[in-house]
Amino acid sequence: MLSIVFHKRRRLVRRLFFNHEQVRTMSRVKRRTTHPPYWHVLKNNQRQDEKISSDNLRFVREVIQDKYKNKSPIKGSDLDIEKKEWDPKTKRSGVIARNIGVQHMWEKDGKKVVCTVLHVLDNHVIRYVPPEEYAKSIIGAKVFRNRKPLGCLVVGAEAANPDRFTRQYCSLFNEVGLLPKKRLARFIVTPNAVLPPCTPLTAGHFVVGQAVDVYGKTIDYGFQGVVKRWGFKGGPASHGATKFHRRGGTIGTGRDKARVWPGQKMPGHMGSERRFCRGLKIVRINMKYNVIYVKGTVPGPTNSIVQIFDTLLPRRKFTEAPPHPTYFPPEDGTLPQEDIWDSNMHVFGSPSIPV
Amino acid sequence: MLRRAVLQTFRQGLAQSFFKRNAVSLSETTVTHQPIETSNEADEKSVSKQKPGDESGNTVVVAPPEFRFMYPEFLPDPAMERRNRLKEKLERIDMLQRRSVVEIPEFYTGSVMAVTVADANSPNKFARFVGICIQRGGSGLRAWFILRNVVDKQGVEILYEMYCPLIQKIEVLRLERRLDESLLYLRDALPEYSTFPLDMEPERRLNNSVVPINPLKVKLRPRPWLERWERQNLQGVEDLNLPQRFYDKAEKVAKPWEKYDLMLQYRKTIPAEEQEKIFADVHSQLQQQEFKRKIRRQHSALNDSHMVRVGRDANPNQTRISGSIVPSCMLSSAGDMTFRLETYHY
């Protein structure tokens, strides 16, 4: 005789009864390292105190000057950029900038707005990696696992003396013939937004009023307790509490699983993590000093390096063509407009707001 | 060597002319029948010291050392982690732009001022408040000051952001200093020390070159107080007449070694060389703006045009604290002016 087994009807979506279950799905990949990835070349010169005579030092400087002779600024007409059309699915290059601080500005109705000032450093395109090649690299394979591969532009910022870098690092810039840059970054671009090497990127790459995403590493708070790190309430300050003011309290039950679950919130290192601030609006661009004012705040402390891209939020993307593939100042050297403000902002030199 | 000489004169000037202010920044005096002469006089009074020349032969302009006290908001926040020269430079440009539109006069804690602000909800569209400046702070475009007054037996304090574009006019009715840098103890003082008539006229003084210090000693109300005033070394307060245990505890809690801590002072201030650079940068523009304003004032006085004072012909009933004086924009959380009501009790 067949025994009929009735199976209990299972819920399709499991309801979470304990926080442990949610926490168990938290990523356990190591989030922070102090060393760069193993495929990077050694960057900083390890031999610090080299005793060379002043004559030799002068000779070394002459060699450097000869190698990286001052080039005239590159104009748009010099580069052989194929005129490619912009379409809404184009991904343009991003830009490396430094967060130089926070400034208060006011809108036309008198409302105060906290704006972050981002100084676009001397960005130059170093090389372009086409989609097929990039998809074969370690990071590229992960990023484009299930989608169509895109190209990658390597952009460098903040030129520095080659003395402080190793030969392998300086060789990365040999093709372009530029002074080695302190900071390199990769930007994913569609093939129609490709820029040739040596192209400068400035604040004019962006348009006032557009939304940008800013990537940075958050402020490093160091080893922090559970109250600051996870927002625990701690214990009572008085009423007889013995040595229990900022501690975590219980870390698990005795019965269920009988151990501490992975992901239990405890004191530890806080900060210095990759974060994106999405959809920040640009309210002002100063073309003379290459400075962008962005509404809101940005991850990272003052004077830290951030990367700025066009936003990926669908409702704040471009509807009209931006400077594509990038902005080139006019040939005769005149700036069309030094300081561009958003239409909503109160310009400081204009009369006081009446009502 | 020239640098050292410049620094020396700068520091000497600092010590000697602590209260002097440059004669060009006059108060509301409008008429002088020889306008050209006064400007010449002002120049003679060494508004800007022109150095004979440095090695390259160019003249080096140094701002007078009083600028450090007249325009303290041009100095940035001394915390080194947050300093950036480019950002400070851009902020200063914006501040000067704003100053070219609105006159932000020289004032100190203890000066009586009147501020006119645009307000959508007041019948006059402008709201004017008169009060004594009890505290000022912030640097750059964030600079603020608090005005205090007692209106209809109710203490009122309003915090104004100096560079907010809603501010139409800032007038200094009485320019003076007090014995303390912060007059927050007026909250615990008898109300007559914080009361100023709302239709107060600007006071003109004969001697414009020195800012007077008012040696007034204020009487406090009996305890409880908002702060422990006995622990704060206040000069402008009368003898507190407290039991000895308060003074003993104050001594126990005091940090008398801080006055010997050089690094603490260094970290709290901007070095003299940088201050010099900043004010030299800003000095010529401020001078130009002052000059233009003086000319404009003289023109308007000569043309006999009546200076319009907002709120002057207003209904005397408007002085009621029904909300007409306090603009509602100040009550909004996003607003840049905060309103503080104080319960008044004997």
Q: What is the pLDDT along chain A (355 residues), one digit of tens a residue?
A: 444 555 555 544 455 454 554 544 566 667 777 888 888 888 988 877 778 899 998 998 898 888 887 665 555 555 666 667 888 889 999 999 999 999 999 999 999 999 999 999 999 999 999 999 999 988 889 888 888 999 999 999 999 988 889 988 998 888 888 899 999 999 999 998 999 888 899 999 999 999 999 999 999 999 999 999 999 998 898 888 888 889 988 888 777 778 888 788 889 888 888 899 999 999 999 999 999 999 999 999 999 999 999 999 999 998 888 888 888 877 776 777 889 999 999 999 999 988 7
Cβ separation A106–B165 shorter than 8 A: yes
B153 with B104: CB under 8 angstroms?
no
Own/partner pairs, A129-132, CB within 8 angstroms, 24+ separation: A129/A153, A129/A154, A130/A191, A131/A191
CA distance A221 to chain B (A): 14
Q: Is the pLDDT of residue B315 over 80?
A: no
Q: d(Cα B11, Cα B15) in Å, to the nearest integer?
A: 6
Residue A8 confidence (pLDDT): 53
Look at B84 and A100 and tell me if their CB atoms are within 8 Å.
yes
Q: Which residue in chain B has the smallest CA separation from A345?
A: B165
pTM above 0.95, yes or no: no
Which secondary-structure segment (H or E) carries B115? Answer: strand B112-118
Tell me if A353 and B161 make a contact (CB, 8 A cut-off): no
Q: Which of B81, B86, B166 sits opposite A301 (nearest CB)?
A: B81
Asked if pLDDT for residue B228 goes beyond 70, the answer is yes
Q: A117 CA to chain B: closest CA distance, Å?
A: 7
Residue B251: pLDDT band with limits 50, 70, 90: very high
Q: Is B56 exposed, middle or buried (0-12, 13-18, 19+ CB in 10 A)?
A: exposed
pLDDT at B335: 40
Q: For residue A345, give the amino acid letter.
A: M
pLDDT at A329: 79
Q: Is B10 or B221 the better-scoring residue by pLDDT?
A: B221
Nearest residue of B to residue A348 by CA position? B98
If 0-12 CB within 10 Å is exposed, 13-18 middle and 19+ buried, where does residue B63 land?
buried
Q: Which of A37-46, A123-132, B86-95, B283-292 has the lowest mean pLDDT?
A: A37-46
| B87–chain A nearest CA distance, Å | 6
Tell me the chain A residues in contact with residue B125 when contact means C-beta distances shorter than 8 Å: 354-355
C-alpha distances in Å from residue A270, one per residue of A43, A219, A225: 27, 9, 9
Tokens read off for A152: 């990658």
Per-residue pLDDT tens digits for B126-138: 999 999 999 999 9
Q: For residue B141, give the nearest of A103, A111, A286 by CB distance.
A: A103
Q: What is the mean pLDDT of residues B81-102?
A: 94
- B162 to chain A: closest CA residue: A104
- Give A-chain residues touching B167 at CB under 8 angstroms: 352
Mutate to test the interface with A, among B88, B90, B115, B338 (most CBs of A within 10 A): B90
Chain A partners within 8 Å of B102 (Cβ): 352
Residue B255 confidence (pLDDT) above 80: yes
Q: What are phi and psi of B222, to 5 degrees?
A: -65, 155
Residue B193 has pLDDT above 80, yes or no: yes
Q: What is the DSSP string of B23-80?
A: TTS--S----S-HHHHHHHHHHT-SSEEPS--TTS---EE--TTHHHH-GGGSPP--G
Does the beta-carbon distance from B101 to A352 stay under 8 Å? yes
Considering the four listed CATH numbers 3.40.190.10, 3.30.230.10, 3.40.30.10, 2.40.30.10, the one that applies to the domain covering A86-222+269-341 is 2.40.30.10
- pLDDT greater than 70 at residue B297: yes
Q: Is A100 on the interface with B (CB under 8 A)?
A: yes
Whole-number pLDDT of residue A82:
65
DSSP string, B253-303: H--GGGGG-HHHHHHHS--HHHHHHHHHHHHHHHHHHHHHHHHHHHHHHHT
Minimum distance, in Å, between the CA of residue A302 and any CA atom of chain B: 6
Is the bond into B64 cis (omega within 30 degrees of 0)? no
Site from B77, B163, B166, B329 to mutate, A interface, most A CB atoms within 10 angstroms: B166
What is the predicted pLDDT for the residue at A79? 62
Measured between CA atoms, how close is A253 to chain B, in angstroms?
Answer: 43
Q: Which residues of A touch B115 (CB under 8 A)?
A: none
ω before A325 within 30° of 0 (cis)?
yes
| Chain A residues closer than 8 Å to B86 by CB | 100, 119, 289, 291
Between residues B64 and A79, the one the model is more confident about: B64
Question: Rounded to the nearest 5 degrees, what angle is found at the Cα of A191, between the Cα atoms of A185 and A194?
Answer: 55
Q: In Å, what is the CA distance from B219 to each residue of A170, A318, B195, B197, B226?
A: 72, 64, 14, 20, 15
Binning pLDDT at 50, 70 and 90, where does residue B309 land? very low
Asked if B125 reaches chain A (Cβ–Cβ under 8 Å), the answer is: yes
- Name every chain A residue with its beta carbon within 8 A of the beta carbon of B91: 103
Q: What is the DSSP string of A232-252?
A: -----SSTT--S-SS------
Nearest to A122 by CA among A78, A157, A89: A157
Q: What are the pLDDT digits (tens) for B126-180? A: 999 999 999 999 999 999 999 999 999 999 999 999 999 999 999 999 999 999 9
Of A104, A291, A346, the CB nearest to B90: A291
Q: Confirm or reject contact between B79 and chain A (CB < 8 A).
A: no
Is residue B202 within 8 Å of B236, Cβ to Cβ?
A: no
Cβ of residue A104 closer than 8 Å to a chain B Cβ: yes
User: Which of these ranges, A171-185, A326-340, B266-280, B328-342, has the smallest mean pLDDT?
Assistant: B328-342
Show residues of chain A in contact with B101, CB under 8 Å: 348-352
State the pLDDT at residue A255. 79
pLDDT at B20: 44
Total Cβ atoms within 10 A of residue A56: 11
Question: In angstroms, what CA-CA distances link B255 with A317, A321, B179, B242?
Answer: 57, 63, 21, 21
**A110 CB within 8 Å of a chain B CB:** yes
Any A CB within 8 A of B84 CB: yes
Segment B1-23 shows an average pLDDT of 47
In 3D space, the residue among B128, B289, B114 whose CA is nearest the CA of residue B203 turns out to be B114
Indicate the burial class of B204 (C-beta count within 10 angstroms; 0-12, 13-18, 19 or more).
Answer: exposed
The Cα of B118 is separated from the nearest Cα of chain A by a number of Å equal to 5
Minimal CA separation from A111 to chain B, in Å: 7
CA distance A352 to chain B (A): 5
pLDDT of A65 reads 85
Confirm or reject contact between B328 and chain A (CB < 8 A). no
Q: Is B14 on the interface with A (CB under 8 A)?
A: no
Distance of residue A110 Cα from the nearest chain B Cα, in angstroms:
6
Distance (Å) from the alpha carbon of B32 to chain A's nearest alpha carbon: 28
Give the Cα separation of A174 and A172 in Å (integer): 6
The phi, psi pair for A38, rounded to 5°, reads -70, -20
Q: Is A294 on the interface with B (CB under 8 A)?
A: no
Cross-chain Cβ contact B119/A286 below 8 Å: no
B165: nearest CA in chain A? Answer: A352
For residue B171, what are the β-bridge partners? Answer: B114
Q: What is residue B43's predicted lDDT score, i.e. its pLDDT?
A: 40
Give the nearest partner residue to B101 out of A291, A301, A351, using CB atoms.
Answer: A351
Domain ranges of chain A: 86-222+269-341
Chain B residue numbers touching A103 (CB-CB < 8 A)? 87, 90-91, 94, 140-141
Pick A352's closest partner by Cβ from B81, B91, B165: B165
Q: Write down the pLDDT at residue A253.
A: 79
